[in-house]
Amino acid sequence: MNAIAVVDENWGLGLDGKLLAHLPGDLKHFKEKTIGNTIIIGRVTYESMAGLLPGRETVILSGDVNFKANCRVVHSLEEALEYCKSKLGAGIFIAGGEAVYKLFYPYTDHFFITKLYAAFKADRYFPNLDEEPDLTVRELSGPIEENGIRYQFFKYTRVK
């Protein structure tokens, strides 16, 4: 299983339900990684979006058993993991928000992280992967600058 996120220097994810910065290059990277695959997101993340992302299967995790959407909705980690078993060989990406990333962290082997070389005010955070001894990291890109923000793509892989 994979996770994909954009974080600032403090591993901040977002503020008030929005990303910390608008970076077309990061959005393109997200699309390239997730297109044709399954993304798992929380209800709050789903409600912050303008709609379902085209070219991907979306699975929404919601504790509200009455929540309905125009895609698959699961109501527990166990139900989500059971559904993932039916997708063997397919790419599954955990794509937010904070609680969903933390819930799936023990089941995630690859983390595609866009690191912003800036600090923003944030109210949602990703686990600091640089402090995890069971992960190796490699750069996927050199530094990029867009809209006055420097950033870089990384892939962290769990060492088994």
* Total domains in the fold of the chain: 1
* pLDDT tens digits, 96-118: 999 999 999 999 999 999 999 99
Q: Which CATH number belongs to the domain containing residue 116 in this structure?
A: 3.40.430.10
Residue ranges making up the domain that contains 81: 2-158
* DSSP assignment of 86-110: TTTTS-EEE---HHHHHHHGGG--E
Mean pLDDT of 69-87: 93
pLDDT at 47: 92
pLDDT at 89: 67
* Residues 84, 148: Cα–Cα separation, whole Å: 39
- pTM summary value: 0.95
